[in-house]
Amino acid sequence: MNTTIFNPRQMGAIPLDGSTGFRVWAPNATGVSVVGEFNNWDPEANPLEKEDGGMWAREVQGAVPGDQYQFQITNGDRSFRKNDAYAREIHEQTALSVVYADSYEWKSPEFKLPNWNELVIYELHVGTFAPGPHGSQGRFEQVIGRLPYLKSLGINALEIMPLMAFPGERSWGYSLTNPFAVEAKYGGADGLKRLIDAAHVEGIAIILDVVYNHFGPDNLDLWQYDGWSDNNKGGIYFYNDRRAWTPWGENRPDYGRGEVRQYIRDNALLWLEEFRVDGLRFDSTLFIRNTRGENNSVETDIPEGWTLLQWVNDEIGRFFPRTHYHR
């Protein structure tokens, strides 16, 4: 079994020619397989091979974009299924991971941001800004229809509230469960690309709200992802001590763990590279940089939270030097 056919830095589901490469981080698992529509959800069909650093990977022939899938993870005598932590699409009805391939053809030319002191920013929640038919939740297409109106107001930048996949029917976006997937009820990844494309044609920049101070708290696949946890807390993606506490639950990511830092960095650059957003707004950095003391009252620094923010900002500046971003 050759698992080096796809880049060892690539995570999640990586579409190839007639196949898909799968890679997942599960350092405490004793076994991992990928199950999906391509193998009739058979956990024996496609076991993943263990790699260095707690990674598991395999190329699966016949797995193609559009297929639903999950990882079946075994930890000792327990076996359970999890969505891909890097899932690029979550199916609207089944809430399962979907293999996604970027095939969008951009129509707008390279967009140039207005000068920083000339930005006129309008904050927008996709679901409520322009409701759909009969008062249904809005989608990207409804926002596209109102771009000329926004432009007529003098708006030249939209700050879009978080639109990553969330549980339930409605959300302000701050209860995201799948940070790499665009909410299907809004129109999914391609719908967001159409909105960004149309906004750029109108001369309007897109700034995206991203949430790294917590994940969840509900229906969170990242929680105890490979079956391990300490103090019955969140496991490999989270702090497992008092630093776990946030106002939204005990679900603060572990900013000191290299794989989690990479996860957040990869997420930030995804929106700038593939989706061509023009800036990021980091939600509540206070709860990345600080936590409560033992008495739940005294704020104390989280040094690795500070360095994470510095690193991600440096990476954005290195790869996207013309991008404005704010916190």
CA 24 to chain centre: 15
Whether the predicted pLDDT of 3 surpasses 90: no
Q: Could you give the CA distance from residue 248 to residue 286 in angstroms, rounded to a whole number?
A: 13
Query: Torsion angle, CA of 58/218/65/139, rounded to 10 degrees?
Result: -160
C-alpha dist (Å) from residue 309 to 36, 60, 164, 306, 319: 36, 36, 20, 5, 16
- Per-residue model confidence as pLDDT tens digits over 272-293: 999 999 999 999 999 999 987 6
Q: Are 68 and 78 in contact (CB under 8 A)?
A: no
- Per-residue model confidence as pLDDT tens digits over 45-67: 999 999 999 999 999 999 999 99
Q: What is the pLDDT of residue 2?
A: 45
The per-residue pLDDT of the chain, averaged, comes to 92
What is the total residue count of the chain?
A: 327
Q: What is the pLDDT of residue 112?
A: 87
Tell me the three-class secondary structure of the chain, residue by residue.
CCCCCCCCCCCEEEECCCEEEEEEECCCCCEEEEEEHHHCCCCCCCECEECHHHEEEEEEECCCCCCEEEEEEEECCEEEEECCCCCCCECCCCCCEECCCCCCCCCCCCCCCCCHHHCCEEEECHHHHCCCHHHCCCCHHHHHHCHHHHHHCCCCEEEECCCEECCCCCCCCCCCCEEEEECHHHCHHHHHHHHHHHHHHCCCEEEEEECCCCCCCCCCCCCCCCCCCCCCCCCCCECCCHHHCECCECCCECCCCHHHHHHHHHHHHHHHHCCCCCEEEECCCHHHHEEECCCCCCEEECHHHHHHHHHHHHHHHHHCCCCCCEC
Q: Are 253 and 238 in contact (CB under 8 A)?
A: yes
Over residues 10-28, the mean pLDDT reads 96
Whether the predicted pLDDT of 326 surpasses 50: no
The better pLDDT of the pair 299, 8 is held by 299
Q: Could you give the CA distance from residue 157 to residue 141 in angstroms, rounded to a whole number?
A: 17
Q: Could you give the CA distance from residue 115 to residue 257 in angstroms, rounded to a whole number?
A: 37
Tokens 């149309």 belong to 198
Whether the predicted pLDDT of 1 surpasses 60: no
Tell me the pLDDT band of 196, cut-offs 50, 70 and 90.
very high
Q: What is the pLDDT of residue 114?
A: 87
Q: Could you give the CA distance from residue 277 to residue 323 in angstroms, rounded to a whole number?
A: 9
Tell me the pLDDT band of 296, cut-offs 50, 70 and 90.
low
Q: Could you give the CA distance from residue 156 to residue 62 in angstroms, rounded to a whole number?
A: 45
Q: Could you give the CA distance from residue 6 to residue 230 in angstroms, rounded to a whole number?
A: 33
Q: What is the pLDDT of residue 110?
A: 85
Whether the predicted pLDDT of 5 surpasses 60: no
Instruction: Enumerate domains of the chain plus CATH numbers.
Output: 12-98 (2.60.40.10), 116-319 (3.20.20.80)
Over residues 162-174, the mean pLDDT reads 90
Phi, psi (5° rounding) for residue 201?
A: -60, -35
Token pair, residue 291, equals 């936590």
Tell me the pLDDT band of 311, cut-offs 50, 70 and 90.
very high
Whether the predicted pLDDT of 91 surpasses 70: yes
Whether the predicted pLDDT of 298 surpasses 80: no
Q: What is the pLDDT of residue 325?
A: 45
Q: What is the pLDDT of residue 294?
A: 58
Tell me the pLDDT band of 327, cut-offs 50, 70 and 90.
very low
Over residues 169-174, the mean pLDDT reads 87
- Per-residue model confidence as pLDDT tens digits over 197-243: 999 999 999 999 999 999 998 889 999 999 999 999 999 999 999 99
pTM: 0.94
Percent share of the chain, pLDDT over 90:
82
Over residues 88-103, the mean pLDDT reads 97
Q: What is the pLDDT of residue 295?
A: 64
The better pLDDT of the pair 89, 9 is held by 89
